[in-house]
Amino acid sequence: MSKQHNYYVYIMTNKNNTVLYTGVCNNLMRRVWEHKHKVNPRSFTARYNVCKLVYYEWGNDINAAISREKQIKGWLRAKKIALIQSKNPEWKDLSVEWA
């Protein structure tokens, strides 16, 4: 029997909500920690201080997650904002309570 995996598509922003970054991963807590601690200091998220998780969705199909990430990345900013506001209208950091 194979182990089921979870895959996450997520959107993060900076403290002023001016930058939107969409990504995909298999461990959301670890990946958000990496963004917040600028593990890759030359990355886009480090350069633009992307540190606030404002949206995520999950599933168990990596191909579907990658397709969804590409779909969201192709959207205009207004559509991404509408997606975020549909689940998180106050743009709270959804990872703030994680250890």
Tens digits of residue pLDDT in 22-49: 999 999 999 999 999 999 999 999 999 9
In a domain? residue 41: yes
Number of domains forming the structure of the chain? 1
- Give SS3 for 79: helix
pTM of the model: 0.94
For residue 95, what pLDDT is reported? 97
Residue 12, domain CATH: 3.40.1440.10
* Domain annotation covers residue 1: no
Parent domain of 48: 7-87
Does any domain span residue 96?
no
Going by C-beta distance under 8 Å and a sequence separation of 6 or more, which residues neighbour residue 55? 10, 11, 83, 84, 87, 88, 94
Please state the φ and ψ torsions of residue 58, each to the nearest 5 degrees: -140, 160
Measured in whole angstroms, how far is the alpha carbon of residue 59 from the centre of its chain? 14
Instruction: Look at phi and psi of residue 45 and say left if phi exceeds 0, alpha if psi is from -120 to 50, else beta.
Output: alpha
